[in-house]
Structure 1
Amino acid sequence: MSEPIHPNMALLLDAGIVFRARTQADGMPKYDSNRMQLLRVQLKTPLYFDEWCKDVSRVLKHWRLDALINKDILRPDENSPEFVNWEEASKGIFKWLCDNMDAQLVDFVQNGYGRSVYADEFMARVKLCFYDYDHRCDMNEMIRALSRVTHCKRHTFDDAESFIRELINRFWHTKLYKLEMPAFLPLSILFEQLKHEMPEIIARMVQKVYNMPYPAQYLTSDDFLEVCYDIQDYIESPDDDENSELATANSGNEDNHSEVGDDEDEDEDEDDDDEDDDDDDEDDDEEDDDEEDDDEEEESDPDYVGGNEPDDIVDSGSESEDLEQEAQDLMDLSS
């Protein structure tokens, strides 16, 4: 038996007034991200999640946007005139929420519980992860979080990509408890579990890691993620990876050939210069030899006296005869 209709309700129905459920778009102003300068309320650790939720609600209520993060309130119908404004506002608040959370927390929520683009769905998943977090964060939870990383095995997943994604999630989960797990530990698990399935890429990644200075001590979380993403890219397109390696090798060979060609040209130029120098030296030696020969000929000439030429040599015999003749002439005159 149905419940009787209240008299006031009956009057409204008779008047033709149609009732509908409340939606998130009711009473919401026109959304303008440039005009609505929302305050920043940063969440860096889930230990302060309850206070953060209160701050978020306070900021959004000031702009009458607090219904956008309430999953219990219905969304407007897609055919309603308010849907476009609601969709833009919900996506804008979702981005604002992500900007006000630590990037590691956002990755944990999105990777562990599926990705979302609307504010109400994302906020519901955030609460599922961190609600009453400070009371649940005990020693047993910490031990369980560490154990989930060390017991992450490849054979329990359908494919390698799912295994890598879950290993990343479990590693990030330890950070929520402020556990300083070295990034080298999950990376070693990654290599150990995939070395038989994809030996080439794993061998290359191992070499990349061990080229770092003291990887066991100084390997960061970003380094671990970079290796994971490289392996995921290899899984998605192994042919492209091989082609890129081949292109790199070919370019290296071309560079080597060009360097060898340049070296050969330089060697040829140096040989030419050496030949020119040798020719110049030979010419100089020939000139020196000619000068020495001339000197030897001059010294061997019988008419050569000192540095004078033969025409300048004085004949001493003819000069004495002239003197005797002059003396005889003087004697004849005196007699």
Structure 2
Amino acid sequence: MKVKAAVISEINQAYRFETLNLAELKDDEVRVKIVATGICHSDDALRLGHAGFPFPAVLGHEGSGIVEKVGSAVKHVQAGDHVVLAYAYCHHCEHCSEGIPAACQDWLELNWGSVHSDGSPFFTRDDGSVVNNFFHQSSFASHTNVKESNVIKVSKDLDLRLLGPLSCGLMTGVGTVINGLKARPGSSIAIFGTGAVGLAAMMAAKISGCSTIIAVDIHDARLELAKELGATHIINSKNSDAAELIREITQQKGVNYSVDTTGVTVVMKTALDVLAIRGVTAPIAVTNQELTINTLTDLALSSKNMIGVLMGSSVPQLSIPKMLEFFKAGQFPFDKLIKMYDFDDINQASADSLSGKTIKPVLIVDKDYRV
């Protein structure tokens, strides 16, 4: 099948549109016509060479669309279903069996593997050369083949153009606070970076009942939006000492939790430094920067914890419907973060995301879609 796809051929190149051949559907796969897809910071990180992904490739992992065809082993979706696409997992390893598919034993192979486990490609050019897949999804394409585990079925009365970002950036932010940090009512939290992930984490902190919610960024417009969405305090760290102000806000105690979404070394260290005794920080950005800590003075003496949280430790088939419940109840207005772009304008959307001009770009791939 011929598909239109935005291809990255080399590190730090712009997206270029190509017509590719999409492989035949495997028994455990679902073919989806993409309606829309978010651009995630991870896509930009890969394109810029921060995460060591092999090119050429079709990126994109916040897709939403309509099922066109299913393989013979697929049981839970059928042609015509409306779906959101998240990460893939195996279903049967120890961690999947315990309900933590983000820790799937085969997670890297399934989501970072670029070709099928049997070595066959997802996409090829007419000359036979392989174009790699990402997240077993590659939603920067008009059509794609995904695992059944990638798929979350949603109601047909919901606008698919809004829903893609729920599957990565927003799920990561929400899940980090609810599943990873397990934030308690009445607690305090500082969130560094108010992009889509950070603002989702902040809204989850409000839903969780945190009484002190501190948003830190260098963009005033984003900080004002953070205040509108539930931050009790905002700090522009370009103009102020964030650590000093957080200590003032918390009467020198520090915060119970912090989340870093920037991946910047000095910011990750600040997120650790501002913790209260027994505080917990979660650095969750895709980054090529490193952090050096002293395990005695930075962790042990204050009983602090630093945790790794992948994809919000979320089960997408449970978390996405829950986020939609929050949205319908007015508790999670993620639509305020979204700006829509034509698929053909992917390079402008990517640039606007990197500059901070747009919080969450969403590419409209199927212009004929109507709710």
TM-score, length of structure 2 as denominator length:
0.21
Structure (1 or 2) with the greater helix fraction: 1
Give the structure with higher Rg (CA). Answer: 1
* Higher RCO, 1 vs 2 (CA within 8 Å, ≥6 residues apart): 2
The TM-score with structure 1 as length reference comes to 0.22
